[in-house]
Amino acid sequence: MSSSKKVPIPKNGVDYREKVVLAPMVRSGELPSRLLALKYGADLVWGPETIDKSMIGTTKRINPISSTIDYTRTPSNASKQPGSVIKESKIYRLHPDQEHGRLIFQIGTSSPTTAVEAAKLVAPHVAGIDVNAGCPKPFSTSGGMGAALLRTPDHLASILSALVKEVGNVFEIGISVKIRLLETADKTEALVRKLCATGITGLTVHCRTTPMRPRERAIRDQLRMIADICRGEGVACVMNGDVKNKNEALQLIQEFGCDGAMIATAAEANPSAFRTNEQGGLLPWREVVQDYMRLALDVDNKWGNTKFTLGQLMPGKAEVYKRVTQCKSYAEVCETLELENIAAQAREVDDRLGIGQTQDSSAIKKAKTENKSAQAAGGRMSVEKTRSSENRRSLSERGVGILSTMAV
């Protein structure tokens, strides 16, 4: 949408206007899912909410196999026993080439200081930093993050102002925020005006209140008012909530005067929702799963996340659904779905990740060691029993019979 006023888009940032984007989703927004959304036509992708304190203290590593940038850290519960192998946890991953200029890092925070410290770590590699002020889950709100920030608008504004000044201006990227509707239109209006005055380049509104759940229909009666305020302040307005596909997104943008739209659950079930009707619309789930598997293998995606995502992409009534959910490795999935063309790569990834039958877990190794010890002990006992048995069978040979005769 055109606007007489427009907050300048920084050199390394991106304008949210006329964009249909992937929503930030925990587990469903990891790297291969984002790459698949981009492949199918998403203009931008939001990464999953990442808590600022989890990023602080991470080590940035360039992965030579996947060509990704990985932010890792040692788990707090890692074994401190001498000689034990400590495997680092991946906190965040991005692809500097395939996501260049199209990735928005969403941060979970309740503090301007930690928000800035964490954002600086990833700022050189993303097109924008987005503050999560809409998550209603207790793990977020209990720490003063997510939707809890809606109850403290001045504090939320201070976080955004700090990010604009110390991250956005320094790294020349945009700062944005994602909110929910408040109890009344007047409260929502006051909040939006306050946030737009912080220097942000974009605002996304999830058209539900904090207590509402995804199964409840999105409320859009405040949307045009929010879009008008944003336009007046030169801030891009993105709508979110019950957007089913790209064609519907474009239609809703026109209907409510927004600048862009965000797709969440529909893309989680089938990322080809970003294909327009002219491009063929939704693809069959088998084709989507094969495309996803290729991308997951290309970046050595964590097996647990891949298995979860496959469960979202496959219809529960599909004959192979249960068999896939029981798979324990990439190779097993390829065998189950008859993906012979990537089976060899799957075995290589299984080897690197140490999953499936290619490498025993520590628990299995321990069980095998104990079993071998038991077998060895059992073997020794067997020999002793054999000897004892032989001795018992040869009592007469040992003179027992002779002694008995002599005693008589």
DSSP letter string over 162-228? HHIIIIIHHHT-EEEEEEEE-SSHHHHHHHHHHHHTTT-SEEEEEEEETT--TTSPPP-TTHHHHHH
DSSP letter string over 307-372? HHHHHHHS-TTSTTHHHHHT--SHHHHHHHTT-GGGHHHHHHHHHHHT-GGGS--HHHHHHHHHHH
Are the beta carbons of 123 and 114 closer than 8 angstroms? no
Which residue among 135, 207, 230, 258 is the active-site one?
A: 135
Task: Find the radius of gyration of the CA atoms of the chain.
Answer: 30
Q: How many CB atoms lie within 10 A of CB 189?
A: 16
196 is an active site residue? no
Are the beta carbons of 237 and 176 closer than 8 angstroms? no
Are the beta carbons of 220 and 207 closer than 8 angstroms? yes
Alpha-carbon span 301 to 213, nearest angstrom: 30
Question: Catalytic positions, please?
Answer: 135
